[in-house]
Structure 1
Amino acid sequence: MVTLLGVAVLVGSGVVAGVLFAVALSVLPALFAMPADRYVYTHKLIGRNWDPTMPVIVLSCVAIDVALAVVATSGTVWFAAAAAALLGVSVVSHFCNVPINRRVKSQDPAGIPAGWRDPRPVWRRWHLLRTGLALFALFANAFAVATG
Structure 2
Amino acid sequence: MLNALEVVTTVVFGVMVGVEFSVAFVMNPILNTLPEDSGQLGHAHGGRMLGAVMPVWYIGSLALVAVWAVAGWHSDGAGLVVTAGALLILTVAMSLLLLVPINNRNKTWTPENRPADWKDQMNRWDRWHYARVALLIAAFALLAAALA
In structure 2, give the amino acid aligned to 1:39: G
Q: Distance in 1 between matches of 2:57 and 2:118?
A: 32
Q: Which residue of 2 aligns with 1:84?
A: 86
- Which has the higher mean CA deviation after the structures are superposed, 12-21 or 85-94? 85-94
2:50 maps to 1:50: yes
| 1:101 counterpart (67, 92, 103) | 103
Identity between Structure 1 and Structure 2 (%): 32
Alignment of 1:1-148 (within 5 A): 1-34=1-34, 37-72=37-72, 73-112=75-114, 115-118=116-119, 119-146=121-148
Post-superposition shift, 1:117?
A: 4.2
In structure 1, give the amino acid aligned to 2:68: L
- Alignment RMSD: 1.9
Aligned residues: 145
- Which has the higher mean CA deviation after the structures are superposed, 59-68 or 1-10? 59-68
Q: Distance in 1 between matches of 2:146 and 2:48?
A: 34
Q: Which runs of 5+ in 1 are unaligned?
A: none
- Which has the higher mean CA deviation after the structures are superposed, 104-113 or 74-83? 104-113
- Which has the higher mean CA deviation after the structures are superposed, 54-63 or 10-19? 54-63
Kindly provide the CA deviation profile for residues 48-70 of structure 1, in whole angstroms up to 9, marking residues without a partner as x: 32234222222222122222222
Post-superposition shift, 1:40?
A: 2.6
Q: Which runs of 5+ in 2 are unaligned?
A: none
